[in-house]
Amino acid sequence: MKRHIFFIIFLACFGTSFSQADKVADQDSQPMIDVEFVNWVDRVDSLVNIHFYYRPDTLVYGEIHRDSIIRELPDSIYRERIAAIHSPVELSYNDQVRRNLDFYIKRAYRQIPRLLALSSYYFPMFEEIFDQYGLPYELKYLAVIESALNPEAVSRVGATGLWQFMYATGKMQGLEINSYVDERRDPIASTHAACQFLQSLYGVYDDWMLVLAAYNCGPGNVNRAIIRAGGKDNFWDIYHYLPRETRNYVPAFITVNYIFEYYDQHGFVAEEIDLFGLVDTVHINHDMHFDQIAACVNISKEDLRFLNPQYKRDLIPAKNKTRHLILPVEIIADFVQIEDSIHLYKDSIYLNPAKIAYSPTASSAGTYPAASQPAGTKSLTYTIKPGDAIGLIASWYDVGLSELKAWNGLYSNTIRAGAKLTIYVPAAKAASYEMVDKMSKAAKQKREGVHPETGKALPEPLDPNYEYYTVRSGDNPWIIAQKYPGINANDILTLNGIKSASSLKVGQKLKIRKKN
């Protein structure tokens, strides 16, 4: 064993303070299999709120079909199948594993199809990162136990993300956590952190079963259990000296290995989810809002949130630090081509700190008292349609997103089709906005100057009486003016109604002068 006695004694006394141990429930609590079941099922069920889930009227495993699931087999079959799984992690079968198999297959059978579907997105990502660290691929199943593959999962004590890092542990592993970014929710960054943590634990214990236990309850609890067991360092020998949740943790890991290896032998199939194909990463070097991206390229804000859950307020704060953004590969070329224009699209609204909503934790109702009607405005009502996003609605009425949410007492950006929103517009212009509620989405996008299918900004109609110049990357008004004798930068800005040179967009058509 790669341990020294003084290090063991130190960790036994102090190790819990810098570990994941705060996740472990009180030893005197109710049986953890019941508490764990409720929490774990809640995490899986919360995934149905993600818009890409396909939820048919009759679920794959509704009450009608529950008898088609093979939910119990003899011990001999379980033992034989687990023994046949090739893994560097010791996978044994005993009463504790059987109890967990009953828990997952008998009681959580509705959740398994969702996990199978999500695994097709997350597991290849995990395995690629595990390969970089030389770790067993089977460790990917820890994320199933920890978060039910939900990157936005938060435990009752604050552990967050796919790998359920506590705040202190996440910071210790180098993850960024602040008002706008939480890398515990970043599938890539958090998996690297989990690998580093697991690798460091293996350097101490040289035994994957003990590493799993230490990941759950902290090395301090594991080392105390070893001491209480008289120095024995086999997981099953120290089993009764571990916190209750950790006693379930390793058997649950073995169980999840079994389920993903033999799910089809029990009649399970993956739930139908409209997941992404290939995705890739682009780097961002200036602030950008999800609403800007969704308005200019063919991707919804909801998809951006799923692919990039680390950005807590739909804002990529890249002014002083390069950030990464995951996108479907089919739209990356479009994104890169017009990235400068995306950054400048309604930047006075989306990138204005005074207008970026800071949403406190939502109440159970998700609302707070609505703001009063501003003077000089008329109240309009908009009925939310399927596919609408609150940011789009704000743009259709030329109001700020934070204002729209304040008027309707909304904490979050979540809206439901059929609900009604109150919108205040200038009384003098009310007639031009009254028709919006009855327009198709395509018509509303076109009215906003956005192509209804591609999501790209539509070019403004050109005045045939003027000469025009198309803005290129690196241009500014002074550079452009040098191309036209007798024209200066201020002439160009004034003629085009531009207040700031920084607001020029690549591809923008600028009036230069009247034709002779």
Catalytically active residues are 146
Two tokens at 350?
């989306």
Q: Are 152 and 162 in contact (CB under 8 A)?
A: no
- 139: which DSSP letter? G
Q: Which of 321, 326, 10 is nearest to 180 (CA)?
A: 321
Residue 239 burial (10 A CB sphere; 0-12, 13-18, 19+): middle
What are 477's two structure tokens? Answer: 């008004």
Within the chain, how many helices (H) and strands (E) appear? 23, 8
H-run or E-run covering 262: helix 244-262
C-alpha–C-alpha distance, residues 317 and 311, integer Å: 8
**279 neighbors 327 (Cβ within 8 angstroms):** yes
What is the rounded distance in angstroms from the CA atom of residue 14 to the CA atom of residue 4?
15
Q: How far apart are the first and last CA of the chain?
A: 88
State CA 76 to chain mean position distance. Answer: 41
Query: What are the phi and psi torsion angles at 9 (to 5°)?
Result: -65, -40
| Residue with the two structure tokens 């180098």 | 174
> How many of the other CB atoms lie within 10 Å of CB of 452?
15
Under a CB-based contact definition with an 8 Å cutoff, are residues 249 and 145 in contact? yes
Type of residue numbered 375: A
3-state class (DSSP) for residue 160: strand
469 CB burial (10 A radius; 0-12, 13-18, 19+): middle
Using CA atoms, how far apart are residues 48 and 45, in angstroms rounded to an integer?
A: 6
E strand or H helix that includes residue 328: strand 323-328
